[in-house]
Structure 1
Amino acid sequence: MADYDVAVVGAGPAGAALASVLAPRYRVVLLDRLAEPLARIGESLIPAARRLLRDMGLLTAFEAQGFPAYLGNRSFWGGAEQRTDFIRDPDGPGWHLDRAGFERFMRAAAVARGAKMMAPVRLLSVARSGSGWRLTLKAEERGFGLQARLVVDAGGRTAPLAKMLGAVRQNTDRTVAHWLHGTDAPAAPPDAGFSTVESTREGWWYTAPLNGQRVVAFHADPDGETTKNLSTAALVTQARALPGIGPLLQSSAFVSDKDVTTTAANSARLRPFSGTDWLAIGDAALSFDPLASRGLFHALYSGYSGAAACDAVLQGQASGFESYADDLDRIVQAYNRHLAVFYSAERRWPDAPFWRRRQHAFNETNA
């Protein structure tokens, strides 16, 4: 049976970040249910990530990937148009990522530093074994086990490992994202480098150009009237009719033949974030509303800080995971305050279920 210092369940940005930091010093294994990353929404990486990537020793290789710059945000919110940019940000611009390409880069970085990659594999069970853990896994039709001193849940919103250990996910809301990718005309789009959001009665829309591609998404409650049986044609038609985003799609000649994908996009947290010889990172620990544009940054941050916590515990500092959990608690409190401000700024539809639910939920959370 293979023996590791740290087993990481999930090889997305958070898990790969943690593995790349720890692998030069420890025996680390990365486990993922997917052989290759999938195309997905969540492509905005804010400027502050530059410091994290530099501290992880990945910035130069990351910049060589050529991801387009993320220059700022434009919003049509509360009846007003606003544009903010990162010109004065000391970290410079952020990035609009090819998400699957970024995840491949992060996986490769972890493996290059010595992490063992196993994919596709499925976690069947985890149990205490001596001073560590025994994980039972399945690859194709073959079952096998491995031993690890510490285990890390980087398995995304489903938090598969943490749930097996008794942790509970707490949802603040039920937001889902209906999204698709498509293509723009060859000419530079009018919103090059900018993400745009626009509020409507039943939710809010998002779009961003991605090197000739484009993502369009509608965020709403799953019981919203306009989201039932949402086809590609219906989503694009509704987006083109928006007063703010519509002209962007028209002038960029946006088209799509992709199916609409619906994914969870709600705020949620894990209780607890960690326990004896285990912790959760990324979406498994904290899931952010896409309006905050913090999902990818949090994945890298929690992977980096989670690696420091693992190092502390492996060096005999029993409080390492407690300090990590305290840090995440402070992040939750700041996040809830900021999101309450964002949602309370839209007052045009006080009777609309989408807005009433969020303003009530985040006001309660901050009480």
Structure 2
Amino acid sequence: MSPDPITVDVAIIGGGPGGATAAGFLRRYAPEFSVAVFERECFPREHVGESQLPPIGRVLNELGVWPEIEAAGFPIKIGATYRWGQSDKLWDFEFVPPADYQEESRPRAYGGQSRYLALQVERAIYDDILLRHAATLGALVMQETAVRSVARTGDRVDHLILDDGRSVHARWYLDASGNAALLRRAMDVAIEAPTRLQNVAFWDYWDNTEWASKFPGGATRVLVMSIGSGWIWFIPLSPTRTSIGFVCPAGFYKQGGRSARELYDWALAQEPMIAALTANATREGQVRATKDWSFLADRCYGDNWLLVGETAGFADPILAAGLTLTHTGAREAALTVMSLLRAQHDPAWLLRHYDDNQRTRIRQHIRFADFWYAANGVFTDLQDYTREIARDAGLDLNPAQAFQWLGTGGFTHDVLGQAVIGGSDLVSVRQIAQRMVALDEDLWQLTRYNRFWLQLDDAARVDIPAYLEGRIVAVPCFVRNGKRLPCVGVFASIVTAVQTHSALPALLSALSAQSGASDSPGSGLPSGDLFYQQVQAMELMLSDGWLRAEHDPQLPVLTMKTPREGRFIHTNVDLAAVAPPGRKT
């Protein structure tokens, strides 16, 4: 006799952050639907991908799991220190300027400066908290229960078959199985690799490295150290434990004739700072390895299934964006399935935009990673290579234009209504570019003009989904030649102001009044940051052709530069050296 089948509304393959986040949001916002998660391993278990970006905190808080994550006491990530680019000098990328950072007792509530900071997490603990939280919300969580196969008819999943022979029947299926990609492979979804990057990673865990002396107090930085043949990560995970890894091209590993352990030991010895930090430390001694090849699925949905997280695509870990993409995508998957089950919105519209959001976001992060590696000398002819990337995207640009496109593109899909990518705004990206390839400070097109009009000729007005707390709403958006202008957040504020004012002084006054009055709906930004982001968004709208501009000799122009040394990106500063008087260290 066959074992009794399992019947639920939503079946999720994989209990990592993607599966657990999707399950949690489904149960939080749609408790009328049953959800089951099938995880082949027994948690807790180790996993790579420990360094986070600030947008994750907002997802964790909305999910209701922030207090549990914060109670685990993971180190606070204030930013990263790099040896990367044309110079061997260290430089820092801060989420919050160290001089502004305030020590807080922990566990902290979510809010204030925690919105701009991130964490470095032990994935064994972190993933277990997320999965247990999903179970607390009412999801059926079955660990040590592998999905053996997928029964299908055309592009529709009929049911899953577990390793114990039971079948799982659901209305919707989510594949959050990561590299295993069980459902993606079963549905014959092809993948592409829109990049030359084919890296491998090796890592081990260390006890009692010297990072505590380098990062006094609660704020820590990740170290990212280029050694020419690859780069090393150094991620503090607890007061005593550190993750240290080496990433290099697969060809370098294969041609070098070293074992994984020999290559790992050799790499760490090449970087003096890493060698000093590990001089008196002990290591677990189990060098792990994984393939870090960036890829993108050809599609992220079918008749009754979605791909979630790294099943849909993977961007090189240089940007530490993996968990951010996974958490964000899983939240959007949950809200999409919830709307489908409730028959809210047109199903084709929901699925098409889910697919577009995930694939565009991942592709942009892959492209941004290419930018980082190109600037680090991995590709000998930087500008010709960026022209090749632009050509792949259907753009015929000269090398200089292509480099500008590569370094400034992709800012409208990461966070709806904000001009950011990978946790970086336009100013940060341009400062990074200066660090890497010595670009000029005078990069701002906005400084050449002082009259502005909307340029919407040949643009189609469409509705796109905004994924709010517990619901999806349609918001207007203009689309033209593969670019989009979402009329929400900072972009909406500019559209409104430009419709009334064309002269720069009046336009800036209108924007300043908006930013001083209140937070912009949909921007997710406090009023103090809003004007700063509005000006950057104007630059992007001008670059993308959404604004037409002229110079009027009777009007003043903006003076804008991108200084090499800024508050957030600057030559390396010891955290202890900037501790204000009286701050706990």
Question: When the two structures are superposed, what TM-score results if normalisation uses the length of structure 2?
Answer: 0.57
Q: Do structure 1's residue 209 and structure 2's residue 218 form an aligned pair?
A: no
CA distance in 2, matches of 1:364, 1:194: 36
Matched, 1:164 2:173: no
- SS of the equivalent of 1:143 reads coil
* Aligned residue number for residue 278 of structure 2: 249
CA RMSD of aligned residues (A): 2.7
1:183 pairs, out of 207, 213, 216, with: 207
Structure 1 counterpart of 2:137, one-letter code:
R
**Is the CA contact 1:157–1:287 (under 8 Å) kept in the aligned structure 2?**
no
CA drift at 1:77: 0.9
- TM alignment of 1:150-161, pairs within 5 A: 150-161=172-183
* Of 347, 350, 363, the match for 2:377: 347
Q: What count of residue pairs does the alignment treat as equivalent?
A: 358
Which of the two has greater strand per residue? 1
Aligned to 2:136: 112
Contact 2:211 2:277 in 1 (8 A): no
Q: Flag structure 1 segments of 5+ consecutive residues without an equivalent.
A: none
Q: Secondary structure at the match of 2:282?
A: coil
Aligned: 1:22 with 2:44: no
C-alpha separation in 1, matches of 2:206 and 2:168: 42
The answer to whether the Cα contact below 8 Å between 2:150 and 2:157 also exists between their aligned partners in 1 is no
Identify which range, 178-187 or 203-212, moves more after superposition. Answer: 178-187
Given candidates 41, 45, 49, the residue that maps to 2:48 is 41
Q: Does 1:85 find its partner at 2:89?
A: no
* Aligned-partner Cα distance in 1 for 2:335–2:171: 15
Give the superposition deviation at 1:279.
0.5
3-state SS of paired residue (2:15): coil
Kindly indicate whether residue 324 of structure 2 is the aligned counterpart of residue 293 of structure 1: no
The code of the aligned residue for 1:176 comes to V
Specify which of 341, 361, 370 is matched with residue 331 of structure 1: 361
1: CA distance, partners of 2:210 / 2:231? 27
1:5 aligns with 2:9: yes
In structure 2, give the amino acid aligned to 1:17.
Answer: T
Shift of 1:269: 1.1
Q: Is the 8 A contact 1:11 1:31 kept in 2?
A: yes
Instruction: Kindly state the Cα deviation for residue 208 of structure 1 after the two structures are TM-superposed.
Output: 1.4
**RCO higher in 1 or 2 (8 Å CA, sep ≥ 6)?**
1
Partner of 1:235: 264
Shift of 1:324: 0.6
Q: Is residue 297–residue 359 contact of structure 2 (8 Å, CA) maintained in 1? A: no
What amino acid does structure 1 have at the position aligned with 2:330? G
Instruction: Give % identity.
Output: 24
Rg larger for:
2
Cα gap change, 1:226/1:27 in structure 2, threshold over 3 Å: closer, same or farther? same
Is the CA contact 1:191–1:248 (under 8 Å) kept in the aligned structure 2?
A: no
Tell me, in whole angstroms, the C-alpha distance in 1 between the residues paired with 2:160 and 2:16: 19
Q: 1:94 to 1:361 in 2, by over 3 A?
A: farther
Q: Which amino acid aligns with 1:133?
A: D
Structure 2 residue corresponding to 1:218, chosen from 235, 239, 246: 246
Residue 150 of structure 2, aligned match among 126, 138, 146: 126
- Structure-2 change in CA distance of 1:315 and 1:289 (3 Å): same
> Aligned partners of 2:133 and 2:388: how far apart in 1?
40
Shift of 1:33: 1.1
Q: Give CA deviations for 1:123-149 in whole Å, capped at 9, x if unaligned.
A: 2222348996311111xxx31112100
Q: Classify 1:137/1:82 alpha carbon distance in 2 versus 1 (closer, same or farther; 3 Å).
A: same
The answer on whether the counterparts of 2:316 and 2:366 sit within 8 Å (CA) in structure 1 is no
3-state DSSP class of the match of 1:275? Answer: coil
Who is 2:63 aligned against?
Answer: 56
Q: Match of 1:284?
A: 311
CA-CA distance at 1:216 after TM superposition:
1.2
Q: CA separation in 2, counterparts of 1:187 and 1:296?
A: 23
User: What amino acid sits opposite 1:339 in the alignment?
Assistant: A
- Please report how far the alpha carbon of residue 25 of structure 1 lies from its aligned counterpart in structure 2 after TM superposition: 3.3
Question: Aligned equivalents of 2:172 and 2:128: distance in 1?
Answer: 24
Q: Which one-letter code corresponds to 1:150 in the other structure?
A: W
Taking the aligned partners of 2:388 and 2:42, their CA distance within structure 1 comes to: 38
1:170, CA displacement in angstroms? 2.2
SS at structure 2 position matched to 1:125 = strand
CA distance in 2, matches of 1:189, 1:349: 36
Q: By how many angstroms is 1:349 displaced? A: 7.3
More displaced, 161-170 or 125-134? 125-134
* Letter aligned with residue 205 of structure 1: I
CA gap of 1:226–1:256, structure 2 versus 1, over 3 A, is farther
Would the alpha carbon gap of residues 246 and 255 (structure 1) be closer, same or farther in structure 2, given more than 3 Å must change?
A: same
Q: Residue 306 of structure 1 aligns with which residue?
A: 333
- In structure 2, what is the Cα distance between the partners aligned to 1:199 and 1:362? 23
For 1:176, what is the secondary structure of its paired residue? strand
Unaligned 5+ runs, structure 2: 98-112, 396-585
Distance 1:226 1:349, change over 3 A: farther
Report the more deviating stretch, 155-164 or 315-324: 315-324
Residue 137 (str. 1) matches residue 162 (str. 2): yes
Q: What's the CA shift for 1:302?
A: 0.9
Q: Give the secondary structure class of the aligned counterpart of 2:165.
A: strand
Asked whether 1:320 is paired with 2:350, we answer: yes
